[in-house]
Structures are given as C-alpha cells and as structure tokens.
Amino acid sequence: MLTDKTESLAEMVDWESGLISGQIFVDDDIYRHEAERLFLRTWNFLAHESQLQKAGDFVTTFIGADRILLVKQGDGSIKAMLSACRHRGLSVCRVDFGNAGSFVCPFHGWVYDGAGVLRSAPNFESSYHGRFDKSLWGLVAVPRVESYKGLVFGCFDLEAPSLPEYLGDMAWYLDCLLDRREGGTEVIGGVHRIRIRGNWKLAAEQFAGDNYHAIITHVSAGSAWADGPSGRSAGGFAKIMQLPGRQFSSRAGHGMAGFLARDSGLPSFCDPSMSEDQAVVAEYFRATRNEAADRLGVVRADGAPDGAGLVFPNFGILANTLGASTLTLIHPKGPSQFDYSRWCVVDLAAPKAVKEAMVRCLHVWPLGMADADDGENWGGIQATLQGPIARRLKFNYQMGVGQECSDQDFPGTITPFIVGEVPQRNFYRRWLEYMTSESWPVIDQ
Amino acid sequence: MDVRQLEIGATLQFEIEQFYYREAELLDDRRFSEWLDLFSDDTRYWMPTRSNRQLREQDKEASADGEFALFDDNKRTLGWRVKQLNSFTHWAENPRSRTRHLVSNVRIAAGPEGGELAVKSNFICYRNRLQDEVDLWAGERHDLMRRDEQHVWLIARRKVFLDQNVVLSKNLSVFF
C-alpha cells in the first residue's frame, strides 16, 4: 500500500513537530485507505433521534462512501443498514427521508422489510424453484448502533470501544449543546447540503481547532452586520480571538476549536444588538440559565464552552453561537470534494417562537454569511494542491506547540488560549494511527 | 391609473419582462446596491431547500416556512449580504465571479391584494470564476410584485426554487 510514494504516511504527518504534508489532502490512494481504515472503524454520526419518531420512519445517509439506511423499528430501536440490494447492489431507498414499511429494489424487485429482512422477490417460486434461503440475504446491518443524548452513531468495527468510551471527555463538551434542558434536543427544519471542492479533512480540522481563520476568512461577514451598536461585531473577530479562552484537545482526535473563558466579559450565545431574533435567543438563554446550571454546572451554563467542535473524524458542532446551534457532517466524496450537511439543533423544551428565531439566526450565520468564504478558501487550497511541488509542502501546524496544560474547570488537554493548533495536531496524530494500524488503534496514553 | 384595474396583457407582460432584464443586468454588472433597491422594505428573499421525497409527499419537496432554507433574508439581512459583496474582503467574490442571468417563461397573475402581481419566472444562471470554475444553476422564482408611491415596481416577496438537492456549487455567493 502506498508504495509508489516517496514518503511514508508518518513522514507526511509529523504531528509532533506540527508539520503536515499537502499530499494527504489530494492523494487517491490515501483517500481509498481512509475509506477502509478510518471510516470503517470510527463511530460515525448517522442522525438525530428526533428525525426518527415512529416505526417505519427512515433517513438515508453515508458512512464514508457507503450508503446507509436508518429505520425506526417497532420496538423503538433504530437499525442502520447498508442501502445496497444483496442481488445486484442497487440502493433500495433513493429518497432522503420518509416513512415506509418496506424497501424495494427497482432493478429486479427484491423486497426488504424495515428490519432489512428479505421478504419477497417477483415470481419467487417459479424463478428460484425453492433453492433459495431468503433468511441469508437480508440487507447488511451496521453491526453497532448507539446513541449519545439524541445523537445516533454507527460503527462497523467490532473491536471499537463503546460510544461513550470513544467520545471520552468530548461528551462533557457535547452536553453544553445536548443537555441544557429536560427533554434534550431535537433537530428542526430538515438538512442543508452543499458540495465543497476541497478535501474533507480541511473542514474537519477547522471544526476541531481552527478559530484563527475567522479573523480573516470571515472579516467581511463580521463587518457587514456591524451596522448597529453591536458590541461583539464592531470589534470583529480579531478582537474576539484575543480574549481569554481555552481550546480542548482529545487524544482520541476530538477537539473544541476555542471558547471564551467565563471571565472574558462577553456572552458567547448571541448578540442582542444584531437583530430581534438574536435578542429573542439571548432572552431565552437568560431565562433558562438556572435550569442549565442545575444540570451542567455554572461553567457550562454561562457560555463556556460553546463554539465549534469536532467528534473525530467528521462530525462537527457549532454550539450556541450567534443565536443558533448546528450539527455538521462532512461526507467525503473522493479526495477533492465533500458534502457539507447541516442540521439546526434546538432544546426540545424551547418555545416555538424561540426555535424559529434560532433557525433564522442560522440563516445569517453561518449559512448566509460565513459559508461562502469557507467554501471559497477550502476550494482554493484544493486547487493549489494540484501542483506536485505545492502538495509536497509541509504546512505549519505549530501554533500552541508545548502549551498544553490542564484546567480545573475543563476536562481533557487544554490550551489556555482561544486560538491554537493543538486540536489539529491531535486530530492528525489520531488519523495517522488509524491509517497505519492493521486493526482498531488502541490509544497508548 | 388605478392599479387594481391592471390588465394582464401584452403591455404589462412587456413591462414586467423589462423589469427582470434590468434586474439581471444589475446583478451581472455587480451593481448590488441598486439591485437591493428593487425590493420593498418588508420583503422576504427566500430559497427553500429541496429534498428527495416519496411520491406521496412530492408536494413537500421544498422546505416549508420556518424550516431550513438556502436563503431566508429580510431587507436588513439582504442588505448585510450586499454590504459583504461590496467589501474587499468577501473572498468568495474577490475577484468577482462572472455571472449571466437569463430570465424567461414569465407568467403573470393577479396577486392576493389589489394592485399586486404574482409573477412566476424561470432562470438559468451561469457563473465562471477565477480561471476555470463553472457553475450552472436553474430554477423558478415566485415573486410578489407591487408598485410604490412613485409607481415603481418592487419585489415584495421572492421565493426561489433552485433545482438542486445537494447544492452543487461551493457556495451561493450570487443572487437569483
């Protein structure tokens, strides 16, 4: 594997020195390797439980490059299956979501029930003459499906640890988004999907650790809405990124890109001066602060740690940021493209008017005014890396080297700044372990 | 002239089509602030997402009010986008994209209020960007049009149906 390359993967990913080769973003062999060694081993986000309410509800998604069908079962459980007919492989479900009692392959008409059991095929007796055992030809199940506070994940690797163990300290940070109030969360309003012409890791590492980009990538967005007495926006991201803050890194590859410390003097949820919707959300957070504090403690109830984060390898969150929260899935589509899917996630117990205000906030940020410039820049990197010299460049991931510490308020490895590249180095350290291991890569502490 | 007695005929058809051609020109000439002036102060510029649905739910293919959208702007947030486009640091449009908006199939009906028009039109928008990037978007627009005090047509609502499920361009840094 990879024998035609002059460099080994370990040479391309020198995470200790903070030097990462552009090669890992463009190489076809590395991409094929990822499809096998990474996505078939990691826990992959599949859906939010609120998308699957009653028996027969289904959604379609991907694990890596494989099409996955999720179906709510009669017993309330959720089953994940490869959406590929066992006869010739055609997808048995070609819509995004809905409710169905069975799934029919359009090629020859094999019919599977909601649990993936092969139930019938046309002219079954006269075609197969009794020499066919339907029980052996059900849809291939994703062997492990587990949920964490509403988020459904699937994993093909039987050696992988349980989902809570896989998440580790990251769960504490996810709770800021998922567990503020009784009843948890729901996603509302469908999904927003766009195809970006960049390697999926460019977006993943950004969620894990790159607040730094906002200063310049999003400068036009920040200044465009600074048309009022906006305390947050008028100073721009350059000011925010100098405020007291923290980053979280996980040995398992997860990260929080950077959040304001409680003493930063700036509430992180939203900016009431920006719009009526932001004001509605700000008031909602104020009104529910004590309930959140009872559940999560004051550190998490008062805003830290919000912002961008990543569950390794490709599930991002943007928690309580400028009026809304998003779940993000970064589906690779070859080495040079990915589909960027976003869902709006809200407290189930929030009033309808607050939920609607949150969706509208999301249309401003990030969907409306930030995405365009992210898409431009990720695509621009990919374009540059078509050149053989450019792709052999070692990129600099050295911000924050040697500044890891621990913190009494925040679990995991912490860097005492709101920007840095420790989470990214941990992301690539873990990526390298998956890519170079013959079996589940046990974390050696 | 009493606008309630607008006759939906060749003259009005010509007038509205000319309005759309001028609008396309403003966008393709990157005169975004003038384009923004074509919208009423209470406007909504809305582009729902499009999902693949079972046939019995095909009428729900476009996301509903209150759900996710590709655009859902009022005049103020649309103004933010224009301000962003007019800045020198909106990297998605610096250097500028070359766009060509083609508008056709203009169908005019009476609107819900007297003097208002419900106008459907189809569009193709071609974008060429940087050295070799090309995007092609097609779709339908549903506009609610009304005249202001000076008798100038304004877009009081625009709902854009982009004919894509996964948006296949790296961004939507253009208007439709």
pLDDT at A191: 92
Which residues are registered as beta bridge partners of A248?
A256, A414
Burial label, B104 (beta-carbon count in 10 A; 0-12, 13-18, 19+): exposed
What is the model's pLDDT at position A237? 84
Q: ∠ CA B118-B120-B123 to the nearest 5 degrees?
A: 150
Q: Are A59 and A115 in contact (CB under 8 A)?
A: no
Q: Do A364 and B77 touch (CB under 8 A)?
A: yes
Handedness of CA A211, A212, A215, A220 (dihedral sign): negative
What pLDDT score does A229 carry? Answer: 46
Interface touch B68/A344, C-beta < 8 Å: yes
Dig out the tokens for A145 from the structure: 């499906």
E strand spans, chain B: 44-48, 69-74, 98-110, 117-129, 133-147, 153-162
Query: What is the pLDDT at residue A268?
Result: 60
Q: What is the mean pLDDT of each run of 10 residues along chain A (445 residues)?
A: 68 97 97 96 98 98 95 98 98 97 98 98 95 96 98 98 98 95 94 96 98 93 70 66 92 94 68 87 92 93 86 96 93 97 96 95 89 95 96 96 94 95 98 96 87
Residue A368: what pLDDT? 87
Smallest CA–CA distance, residue B58 to chain A, in Å, is 11
Beta strands A185-196 and A324-332: pairing type? unpaired
> Are the beta carbons of B146 and B117 closer than 8 angstroms?
yes
Q: Which residues contact A164 (CB under 8 A, 6 or more apart)?
A: A148, A171
Q: How far apart are the first and last CA of chain A?
A: 28
Q: Which residues of A371-393 are buried (b: 16+ CB within 10 A; e: fewer)?
A: bbbbbbbbbbbbbebeeeeebee
CA B172 – CA A371 distance, rounded (Å): 9
Q: How far is A149 from chain B (nearest CA, A)?
A: 23
pLDDT of residue A320: 87
Q: Do A95 and B53 touch (CB under 8 A)?
A: yes
Q: Can you tell me the ipTM of this complex?
A: 0.93
> What pLDDT does A302 receive?
82
A368/B51 touch (CB, cutoff 8 Å), yes or no: no
Contacts of A356 in chain B (CB under 8 A): 66
Paired tokens of A70:
């999720």
> Along chain B (176 residues), what's the average pLDDT of each consecutive run of 10 residues?
67 97 98 98 97 96 93 95 95 97 97 95 98 97 96 97 97 96
Query: Considering the entire predicted model, what is its pTM?
Result: 0.95
Q: Provide DSSP, A138-173.
A: SPPBPSEEEEETTEEEEE--TTSPPHHHHHTTHHHH
Task: Say if residues A189 and A359 touch (Cβ distance below 8 Å).
Answer: yes
